Structure 1
Amino acid sequence: MSRSASAPSTTSRPLALFGLLLVVVVVAATAFGGGAAPLELGDPGPFVRWSLPTLRAIHDGAAAVTIGALVLAAFIVPETTRTSRRRTLAHLAGGAAIIWFLAGVGGLLTNFASLAGIRLTDPNYLTQLAAFIWQLDGTRTATISALVVAVVALCAPVAESKSALGWLAAASLFALLPLALSGHSAASLDHMGGVNGLAFHILSATLWVGGLVALVVIRPSLGKHLQVTVQRYSVIAGWCFVLLVGSGLLVSWINIGALSGLASRYGVLLILKSVAAVLLGLAGWWHRHRTIAALQDTANGMAPLRGSSVAPQGSAFTRLAVGEVAVMAAAFGLGAAVGRTPTPPTSEERPETSIVYDLSGYLDPGAPDSTSWLTAWQTDWLWVTVAVIAIVVYLRWAVRLHSRGDRWPLLRTISWVLGWLVFVYFTSGGVGVYGRILFSWHMIEHMGVAMIVPLLLVPGAPITLALRALPARKDKTMGPREFILATVHSTYLRVLANPVIAASFFFFSLAIFYYSPLFELAMRTHTGHVLMMVHFLATGYMFTWVLIGTDPGPKRWSPIALLVVLFVTISFHAFFGVLITQSTELLAANFFGRLDLPWMTTPVADQRTGGAIAWGVGEVPTLVLAVTVAWQWMKTDDRESTRRDRRVDRDGDAELAAYNAQLAVLARRDEQ
């Protein structure tokens, strides 16, 4: 029997190494940083103090393995009739999710004890936990996360299809996001920037680390597919590295405030964590430029291992990857310890907060003037990052087409880039700054994101560009191109792309949002505000796409029907604006009514101004949409006329001749 036939399909040693180093490093780093030092008031006891960073490290490590295994199973690892790699990864994800769940529950219990300042053995502990578990942000988000993880742990071992594994991966990533709402960044003055940066940091680290750990675990079963698997993973790892470094710098600067903070114990731990990230980046570079090429040579039969299908380069990859896993475990342990280590004091005087900050998360920017449109700025790092990624990916695809001799219209590229730049302005510029506290400016932001930005993004035709630039996979895995095709031809999109449905989402969701508690929730909470912006952009893009989009999708309606849908929808939209203009009841009264801005007249007057904006601003985008639909209609007629003329030139208008001949036959029959 050959060595490859008797080789195990997985190896558990990397998991054991990862877990052991994780615990050792977090304990040592916590001791160094003082993260488990006794508290002067409300000390929960040494067990809770030491359990918090340890459980957090185990929690993060298990989450990484869960998500990494699911992503590999759904999108990366090839499967054949003789392998069961997807099932192996699903079972690995299920087991890791159980540990993730248990560590999450343990972290919830100990975190509440720390917040309440009581020991776990206190007779009133369970009573207080039951009373406040849903009232405190930390325990509420931890509970939601644990429930989602429990579902993943139950479903992962029985999931078989790529789509099911993909949905579980998405659910797992969602379960991670609440963690960004805790820690030093969430308590900083730049709360939103810290939360956004920490969210990107957590997601990128989890995908990168978890993917590599899962890859090393199943490496013995990959055989000749090791090269393609490593190559696909390296693309994800490269993006994760960039996001990890960028978000890490942002979060670190927010927390330490000055370079002098690097001399503190908190700063030392940050430096050690940064060194680990640099080492991992160098290892990733080596994989991308050396190991993958060597594995490709092996797959082509240039350097086989005697008696085995696994080449020496496969062993070299394993040794380097196991070393990376060890460094990653240390980085995760350091990260958990940093979260419990006191941040260094700063010499800068912290500005006094107010009711405006307590409600919106931002300081009062002062009364707007004629220059505020250009001078006011508060970077929303979430949307800046999304815009940069969207632009970079689009440009890379366009360059890829150009490099192989294909053409891509320059105007489409300009439209796409300009659309995202306008989006960044509406979310970070003066409109975004004052849109967080004034209804009138918020309505400008809404109209801009939902109506103006899509008018620029949709003509960019990103789906068409992606389908032309992305390579097709031949091993039946779900790559980016396959995912886009599956989405384009899905029943969900066929329903959502129906013009009536898209128009209904565009308008009726608008009315439901503003006349329900959802509006106040979106203005007061970071998560709600993010979901609000996603909703505005998604519904606006879908509505614009069904009207003037050129990307592939469900069959388009006739131009006349589209114009009818457009004018009916905008009529309802104008009615909504008039309704707000004439309203005397303040929307989101517990938010706008409590801001108490000294430079504003009354919230109701500002709301009426916002209604007038909603009524009037929609006319210009509507005109542009109507003109575009009519122009596309004329272009379609011109193309049809051109095709008809070419057919006449080619066959002498045989169709018309056949029709005339048929009429002649009928005429002769009538004469007889």
Structure 2
Amino acid sequence: MAPPGTHETSSSPSKDRQPNGADTALIIAVAAVASCLIALLIALVAGGSVTAQVIPGLPDPGALTRWGLPLSKITMDLSAALTVGLLILAVFLLPATKGMLGGKAQGYVRAASWSALIWAVAAAATLVFQLSDLLGLPPGEVLGNELTSYAGSVPQGIGLMFVILLATAVALFGRTVLTSTGAFALVAVSLAGLVPPALTGHSSSAGAHELAVTGLAVHVLAVAVWVGGITAVTFHGLRSDAEHVPTAVTRFSRMALWAYIGVAIGGLASAISRLYSLSELFTTAYGLMILTKVGLFAVLGAIGWWHRRATVPRIAENGGRALFSRLAGVEIAIMAAVMGLSVALSRTAPPPPRESEVDPVFALLGFPMPPPISLDTLLTLWRPDLFFVLVVVVLGGLYAAGVVRLRRRGDDWPWTRSLAWAAGLLTIVVALLSGLGTYAMVLFSMHMIQHMVLSMLTPILLVLGAPVTLALRALKPAERRGDRGPREWLNAFLNSRYSKVITHPAVATSIFVISPYALYFTPLFPQLMSDHLGHLFMNVHFLLAGFLFYWIVVGVDPAPRKVPYLLRFVLLLLTMGMHAFFGISIMMQSEPLAMDYYGQFDVPWSDGQVDDQYMGGGIAWAVGEIPTLLVTMAMMVQWARDEERTERRRERHSKRDGSDDADMDAYNAYLQRLNERAKEQG
């Protein structure tokens, strides 16, 4: 952070501004490309992916594919990171004016559209080379029906098609965006475009799905933000007409720290999921590449630490621009080498799995068949689902930080809200990370308990924690008037058209009520259960649909519209009735549900799918009573307090006007006369 009392400069020349900023930028770019290609070449040769002996009689895609595939992938990765970095610079690092991008920010969005076009072309080339490598045919022979089929039916091909579509969308819409909101949407689309290749590569076949898939996705996203951000900020600082350089550098310094942590967590999870023993780090080409990446990562961490300690404060004082550009140039070159090494790592075969991991049940679930269910196994068979571990840690940490900030400035925060939030996060841990989450993968009854907790108990507790109110009170307004910081972005989202539509009682209730029927009584349920990403999406949907519904029914946070309490009671009774009918419908099924999934493995200690399904329907029918009671009690308390506040406002209004409410007083006097008359007659 910039020290107190410092100020930023705009376009006025600084004492250390380099007159040959364009030459310096060119040198950094050439050095980065060279280091990337050298690291890629060395790693490809060391890993054996381009030097493998061609066996006569076996399909061979040829030298063009062996070299073209890694080159197209590294081009795709570099252009994607640059696209993300330019958009982040425009949206979050440079100040805006009342929701409109500045002139320089608009220029960076236009530049991002060009890099996104290169990203899309490189992804298309990767698609062709990937199919060529898979079929063992030259690239020219896979064009046509083979390519169309691969892009529409194979996960790797589908993932690259999504990349092409999303990158093309950024390239097209980036030419016309002028507002911060529009550019923010481009950031979201570009980040989404990074994920599909990560989810359909080595991670999709790793044994520990919960670590591999999420770990690699987090790793890729964090690398793009880090590499793309430092590149964009550095080249912005080298411009002779650069504005708000101290602001951009200081803001990115905070962002880079979180990106560094994300890279570390994602990389560690990916390595653990692919290596089955510590010795494989030193005895396999795959492990040695990981060690090399760890060493370079440590060097980058040291450079980042020096940035935060020395160059960032000096830039805020307008005295360290030259030092920052030199140090950042070295950092960018090392980052480019790491990215080249990562592409080579994706082309290197990981160590083969042990015999226990070849078991079909392990391949499907990511863990062996659990023993018979008991209290001991429920408490000990934990699943390291990295996604929800991060969700719990991040949400808990942000909430605690907000409460601490309020306390430090002397503001109160009800302990009951903190308790509700902590309890909500605890239910996520129990439902998804404990033995309950393990058995939910093989028993429908345990899955239904998980579903009920995530959709009907956890959201209530989280909503009662009032996270939006806490955020609005704890977050500081943007330093520059008209700019957008976290608080302004949150307000913009709450007041957006999307929020008004999604929080409409009819929309939120429909999503909450229809979702279980659309999931369990269609082929969608076994399809989602058979894939880790599908199962992840299902659990996230349970949480979000429940949170949205209970936010408008019992929420204490500010919302786009205020729903009358009588309507809230009607919605609650309607949804609880529909959920009870849902449970009864499952109990009445004569055939087991989702046999495409549950029929893939045999649970030797289970009573059978039909009996377990009947139990699951009974759980869905009975569990709804507890949330209904909690929500009813909360709404009664809220309604009473709302009436009290309304009465106090009426009294203050009457006193301020110097008159009483004549109609109300006359009515009260009438009731008093009736009461006295009844006493006389009695």
Q: Scaled by the length of structure 1, what TM-score is found? A: 0.90
Instruction: Supply the distance in 1 between the matched residues of 2:458 and 2:429 (Cα, whole angstroms).
Output: 10
Q: 1:294 pairs with 314, 318, 325, which one?
A: 314
Distance in 2 between residues matched to 1:631 and 1:254, nearest whole Å: 49
Partner SS, residue 110 of structure 2:
helix
Q: Does 1:328 align with 2:335?
A: yes
Structure 1 residue 642: deviation in Å? 4.7
Which one of the candidate residues 198, 201, 209 is aligned to 1:191? Answer: 209
Query: Which AA in structure 2 matches 1:217?
Result: F
Residue of structure 1 equivalent to 2:604:
598
| 8 A contact 1:291–1:313 mirrored in 2 | yes
User: In structure 2, what residue type is equivalent to 1:23?
Assistant: L
Task: For residue 257 of structure 1, report the CA deviation from its aligned partner.
Answer: 2.3
CA–CA distance in structure 2, aligned partners of residues 662 and 382 of structure 1: 60
State yes or no: 1:120 paired with 2:139.
Answer: yes
Residue among 314, 326, 330 paired with 1:319: 326
Moved more, 520-529 or 356-365: 356-365
1:407 to partner: Cα distance: 2.3
8 A Cα contact 1:37 1:49, kept in partner: no
Match in the other structure for 1:339: 346
Q: CA deviation at 1:7?
A: 7.3
Once the two structures are superposed, the pairs formed by residues 250-265 of structure 1 within 5 Å of their partners are 250-263=269-282, 264-265=284-285
Counterpart in 1 of 2:497? Answer: 491
Distance 1:662 1:188, change over 3 A: closer
Verify the 8 A CA contact 2:357 2:363 in the aligned structure 1. Answer: no
Kept after mapping to 1: 8 A contact 2:96/2:484 = no
Check conservation: 2:579, 2:621, Cα contact below 8 A.
yes
Greater shift in the superposed pair: 484-493 or 8-17? 8-17
Alpha-carbon offset, residue 203 of structure 1: 0.6
- C-alpha separation in 1, matches of 2:343 and 2:373: 42
Give matches, 1:345-360, under 5 Å. 349-354=355-360, 356-360=361-365
Q: CA deviation at 1:16?
A: 3.8
- How far residue 9 of structure 1 moved from its aligned partner, in angstroms, is 9.6
User: C-alpha distance in 2, partners of 1:385/1:2?
Assistant: 43
Give the structure 1 partner of residue 4 of structure 2.
none
Distance 1:83 1:498, change over 3 A: closer
Going from structure 1 to structure 2, the CA distance change for 1:221 and 1:660 (only over 3 Å counts) comes to: farther
82-91 vs 523-532, greater mean Cα deviation: 82-91
Counterparts in 2 of 1:452-531, with a 5 A limit? 452-473=457-478, 474-531=480-537
- What is residue 34 of structure 2 aligned with on the other side? 20
The reply to whether residue 217 of structure 1 matches residue 235 of structure 2 is: yes
Do the aligned partners of residues 82 and 328 (structure 1) sit closer, same or farther apart at CA in structure 2, a change above 3 Å counting? Answer: closer
**SS of 2:559's equivalent?**
coil
The correspondence for 2:62, drawn from 42, 45, 57, is: 45
**In the TM superposition, what is the alpha-carbon distance from 1:600 to its structure 2 partner?**
2.8
Contact 1:23 1:58 in 2 (8 A): no
Name the residue aligned to 1:423: 428
Does the residue aligned with 2:174 lie in a helix, a strand or coil?
helix
Q: 1:74 touches 1:165 (CA, 8 Å); kept in 2?
A: yes
Query: Residue 244 of structure 1: CA displacement?
Result: 0.9
Residues in 2 aligned to 1:486 and 1:2: alpha-carbon distance in whole angstroms: 33
Is the CA contact 2:449–2:616 (under 8 Å) kept in the aligned structure 1?
Answer: yes
Partner of 1:390 in structure 2?
A: 395
CA contact (8 A) 2:32 2:336 kept: yes
> What secondary structure sits across from 1:158 in the alignment?
coil
Answer yes or no: is 1:77 the counterpart of 2:94: yes
Could you say what the CA RMSD is over the residues aligned between the two structures, in angstroms?
2.9
Provide the rounded CA distance (Å) in 1 between the counterparts of 2:606 and 2:666: 80
Higher deviation after alignment, 144-153 or 623-632? 144-153
Q: Letter of the aligned partner of 1:235 in structure 2?
A: R
* Residue of structure 2 in register with 1:227 after alignment: 246
Does 130-139 or 534-543 show the bigger shift? Answer: 130-139
Moved more, 271-280 or 63-72: 271-280
Deviates more, 1:542-551 or 1:617-626: 542-551
SS at match of 2:540: helix
What is the correspondence of 1:94-109 to structure 2 with a 5 Å cutoff? 94-109=113-128
Match of 1:305 in 2: none
Verify: 1:270 aligned to 2:283, yes or no.
no
1:435 corresponds, among 440, 452, 468, to 440
3-state DSSP class of the match of 2:560? coil
Contact 1:119 1:125 in 2 (8 A): no
Q: Which amino acid aligns with 1:498?
A: H
Report the Cα distance in structure 2 between the residues aligned to 1:156 and 1:113, rounded to whole angstroms.
32
State the alpha-carbon separation in 2 of the partners of residues 512 and 607 from structure 1: 17
Distance 1:245 1:180 in 2: 16
Identify the residue that residue 678 of structure 2 maps to in structure 1: none
Give per-residue Cα distances to partners, 1:545-598, cap 9 Å, x unaligned.
111211111232222221111011111111111111111133323222343333
- Cα distance in structure 2, aligned partners of 1:178 and 1:364: 29
| Letter aligned with residue 401 of structure 2 | R
Are 2:150 and 1:150 aligned? no
In 1, Cα distance between the equivalents of 2:508 and 2:649? 32
Cα displacement (A) at 1:657: 6.4
C-alpha displacement of 1:97 = 1.1
Assess if the C-alpha contact under 8 Å between 2:552 and 2:559 holds in 1.
Answer: no
- Between stretches 598-607 and 568-577, larger displacement belongs to 598-607
- Residue 372 of structure 1 deviates from its aligned partner by 3.1
Deviates most, 431-440 or 560-569: 431-440
Deviation at 1:6, TM superposition (A): 12
How far off its partner does 1:382 sit?
Answer: 0.8
Kept in 2: contact 1:22–1:58 (CA 8 A):
no
Q: Please state how far the C-alpha of 1:475 moved relative to its aligned partner.
A: 4.8
Letter of the 1:364 partner, please give it. M
Between the aligned residues of both structures, percent identity stands at 34
2:314 corresponds to which letter in structure 1? A
Mapped partners of 1:86, 1:646: distance in 2: 49
Q: Structure 1 residues 659 and 418, CA, compared in 2 at 3 Å: closer, same or farther? A: closer
Which blocks of at least 5 consecutive residues in structure 2 are unaligned?
A: 1-10, 669-682
For residue 539 of structure 1, the aligned residue among 530, 541, 545 is 545
Q: TM-score, normalised by structure 2?
A: 0.88
- For the residue of structure 2 that corresponds to 1:371, the secondary structure is helix
Query: Are the equivalent residues in 2 in contact too, given 1:193–1:381 (CA < 8 A)?
Result: yes
Structure-1 separation of matches of 2:80 and 2:593: 40
Which moves more between the two structures, 516-525 or 618-627? 516-525
**1:126-137 maps to which residues of 2 (within 5 A)?**
126-137=144-155
Residue of 404, 417, 441 corresponding to 1:412:
417
Amino acid at match of 1:278: A
Task: Determine whether 1:180 maps to 2:191.
Answer: no
Structure 2 residue matching 1:36: 3-state secondary structure: coil
Correspondence 1:363 to 2:363: no
Q: AA paired with 1:74?
A: V
Q: CA-to-partner distance for each residue in 1:313-364, whole Å, 9 max, x for gaps? A: 1222212211211111111111111111232457x5433422x445545432
Question: In the alignment, what sits opposite 1:161?
Answer: 179
Identify if the C-alpha distance between structure 1 residues 82 and 376 changes in structure 2 by more than 3 Å, giving closer, same or farther.
Answer: closer
Unaligned 5+ segments in structure 1 are 299-311, 664-672
Distance 1:117 1:368 in 2: 47
Partner SS, residue 244 of structure 2: helix
Pairing of 1:547-586 with structure 2 (within 5 A): 547-586=553-592
Residue 22 of structure 1: how far off its partner (Å): 1.8
